[in-house]
Structure 1
Amino acid sequence: MTDPVLKLAADLVAIDSRSFVSNIPVAERVEQELAGFELERLDYTDAAGVAKRALVAHKGPKGGYALSGHMDTVPATGWESDPWTPRLDQAGLLHGLGSVDMKGQVAAAVVAAQRAPAGIPVTLLITADEETSKEGARLIAQRSQLAKSLGLNGIIVAEPTSLAPVRGHRSHIAFTATARGVQAHSSTGKGVNANWKLVPFLVEMRKVFDRLRSDANLQDAAYDPPFSDFNLILDNHGTATNVTPARATALIKFRYSAKVDPAPVVAAVRAAAAEAGLELAEQREGFPPELPVDHPLVALGIALTGKQPRTAPYGTDASELQALAPCLVLGPGDVGLAHTPRECVAVQELLDAVPLFGRVLAAGVA
């Protein structure tokens, strides 16, 4: 892998930065590529006490456009090969955890920034915890003195869109409902199984799930699918089958677009949790970002790619970074391969992304 973008992408893939481990080794590798940039490190500790870092880098005059990507990945669920061994196959695909979401994207943005001619404003916003809390992007938007000082015209969030402009996407509310029981050997009859306390809540959540798919008032025809995601994960925290679980947790990610009022869903979840006597925690992203079709940043995306803008059902750091400047999502790769054990990115799209991002940066010259 001799091409700079492929080499950097492979180097980043080789470093484990799943969201529950520290991303600082990846950040340090990225920093090696930023000679000549003004660099701001935003270090923080996540909710589990893990050290994290977000980066803001800039060179040239103020203004212009920023390129953004995140350093964390999802867990390596289902992989049959080593997720952190980047592999280039004969079909021209780079394989590895994070290859398409998002280390290939970060590599393309960094190389494009390196190659930008003198006199062009160049900004990189490199985040952490995009796959979980969006905390890295939130920290940049709220606390980065460098980012706030630049007066950015717009931000390209480099997620996999097959190099087509995405003008809007959903944001999420994450619900965590917890039932408490009493742990004991299940044969003794002395335990209290927390799962039975959770069941009534789950029945009500299935009703919410069905309503989201049937009630047109909770749908948005501008998105595919038009109904909101309401994904349920259950966790007994490692309890064996001969032990009554002392804790049962239902985690729900509810995604909604700008035109959908989340209030009825939030009210239904809260009411069901209260009725079942469960603890309920909520974590929210920023408001769903969505630019109008005639927005100048969308027009730029159309002009540079020759492709029509669309919306996306997933979420990105744009939900937080939009507080700094309007955001357009645009990057190489197929999002359908993200979050799977088959994750890979077409090498040609990575290579094509570098001059495309370069043209975005060049468009920021006043």
Structure 2
Amino acid sequence: MEKNIVIKGAKENNLKGVDLTIPRDKMIVFTGLSGSGKSSLAFDTIYAEGQKKYVESLSSYARQFLGLMKKPDVQLIEGLSPAISIDQKTTNKNPRSTVGTVTEIYDYLRLLYARVGIPHCPVCGREISSQSVDTIVDHIMAHDEGTRLTIMAPIIKGRKGEHKNVISRIKRDGFIRIRLDGEMVRVDEQEEFNLNKNLKHTIDIVIDRIVLRPENRSRIAEAVELAVREGEGATNVLFQSKAEDGKTKDAEETFSTQLACPEHGVGIDEMEPRMFSFNAPYGSCETCTGLGFTLKIDDDNVVTEPSKSILDGAMGQVFSTMDAMGFYRQMLNQLAVDHKTDLSVPYKDLPIDFRNELLHGTGSRKLKYTYT
């Protein structure tokens, strides 16, 4: 690879046989008086020559958006790579069009993310990965022999409620133990569990308790397989071993056979390029649909005279000139009745909740009104 871009005999426009050597991979600035030949050298000579190489790499669809420049008046240019020139003016009126999409660089970026990207949980930042049952078992077997294992299936994770149906189902399915809010409990020795419905609870089914030995591998595999089936793809494994001081050392790991965070349940589909395209519904933001902005009401532009009442023109001619029995006027009347609000009061003195619903809607809340 050449270390420099070498230009000889540049005569484009007002250039007088300019010879120049420019280092590659550096930030280069052309500066000088107006008319000194900056644009002639940078755009009409260097870029015009590099553009030909770049356009050759594009699809015929992309070429239609890029006008070809005439061959520059220059004797020699060496060490020049395919070039991109970023203009201040847009070449495409598509609001989703960017430098990356027009130049097709974004296609390679999407492919890069899809093939080598590593997803992470947006809640805890933990890497999201899927594991097979065999992989999970291999990881467990890598621990020290003699370690006591408690293989569990997470059923409830930090949810409020009494969860009576869940515990009844666990009993009915023949399981003996659960871990309830961190405590091991036998479900076969207790008729009812009176959980506080206002507190969050976490429940794991204890699938099996095993001592880690090579001959127990098949039993461990069966327990893991049952755990991920009961835990909808996730399993918690508690490792208990003896420390050097003789005390019991506990460690717990969570595994998942799905592409999801086992702790928070945040899951994603298998990554593919379209997931990273803001031009496609599959990958675009659900809020702005890939535009990068949203349209919202500017309260100050709608309510121009807040010292007046709505019926006297606080919102211009909206409502103030409507028939008192008209369709939209009846909607306004019912909203006022629902909020026990007097429409003759100046807008600025109306309740905040009423004003918000007037301008932005009632959302999922429904009102019943009559129109004849």
Question: Is TM > 0.5 for Structure 1 vs Structure 2?
Answer: no
RCO higher in structure (CA 8 A, sep ≥6): 1
TM-score tier, shorter chain, comes to: under 0.3
Larger-gyration structure (1/2): 2
After TM superposition, the score normalised by the length of structure 1 is: 0.20
Between Structure 1 and Structure 2, the one with more strand by share is 1
